[in-house]
Amino acid sequence: MDEAFLSGLRDLLQEQCRVPDLPEDWFWASAMLSAQGFEYGGDFFVSDLVETEDAAAGLAMVLVDVCGKGATALPGAVQFAGALRGLLVAVPGEELLDAANAFLLRQPSDESIATAVQVVVDLGTGRYAIRSAGHPPVLHWRADAEEWVVDNARGTALGVVDEPEFPVSEGVLAPGEALLFYTDGVVERPTSDIDAGIDWLRAAAREAVGDEGMRAVPARIMEQVDRGDDDRALLVLARE
């Protein structure tokens, strides 16, 4: 693909990866790294302000890892990101992943597959709901224990079956707590299973919080991840 074309697609994807202005007691931070040998990658996130079930102000966010890597994943990622931004405000939170799955199933390519994790957070109370579509588990920073705890949300990858399952996991982010989202490229290694990678991430992220604070976690972790055969992305959403 032409370099100028790829550069334009990358700019479009980066434009999608914006978080709206949040209340002063909330913040986010992210870091991304494309696969070995590629300047462009297919991991991305989208977000928007929404109204929660009790009519309160909320934030909806989805981190996505599309099938493929580097430049080969970029066109599909741009198309899917645009669709997800529209779905965020057009359908209720509990229907978003089903709608995203239907979108991918309608695509002509058999490789229109993605994993994703969705969170909807009440910005007043800190209550959240997480739904996962075949994505690595979210980590929750517990301020009282000073530890990252693995969330139990699991589900089916998008674009695979007509009726996937997306069980919901609910919790509360207290002041001083955070959620850490990441793609599988951060924790998967050829020589170990993903659980070992998640254990490593928990330890490295705990150390990063202690040394430099929550805002530095994504960049600090990415510095320790080798550029391998998959794209990588990390995102922290925190309540101060």
User: Is it the case that residue 50 has pLDDT exceeding 60?
Assistant: yes
Whether the Cβ atoms of residue 78 and residue 13 lie closer than 8 Å to each other: yes
Write the pLDDT tens digit of every residue in 109-126.
877 899 999 999 999 999
- Non-local (6+) Cβ contacts of 16 within 8 A are 44, 46, 78, 81, 82, 85
CATH topology of domain 3-179: Phosphatase 2c; domain 1 (3.60.40)
- Mean pLDDT across the stretch 64-93? 86
Write the pLDDT tens digit of every residue in 127-168.
999 999 999 999 999 999 999 999 988 899 999 999 999 999
**So what's the pLDDT on residue 137?**
95
Domain map of the chain by residue range? 3-179
Tokens of 110: 């058999």
Distances in Å between the Cα of 4 and the Cα atoms of 11, 15, 43, 73 are 11, 17, 20, 16
User: Is it the case that residue 229 has pLDDT exceeding 80?
Assistant: no
**pLDDT bracket for residue 68 (50, 70, 90):** confident
Whether the Cβ atoms of residue 228 and residue 222 lie closer than 8 Å to each other: no
**So what's the pLDDT on residue 129?**
96
Q: What angle do CA 228, 210, 202 make, to 5 degrees?
A: 45
**pLDDT bracket for residue 21 (50, 70, 90):** very high
Q: What is the pTM of this model?
A: 0.91
- Non-local (6+) Cβ contacts of 79 within 8 A are none
Q: Enter the DSSP assignment of 159.
A: T
In the structure, how many helices (H) and strands (E) does the chain have? 5, 10
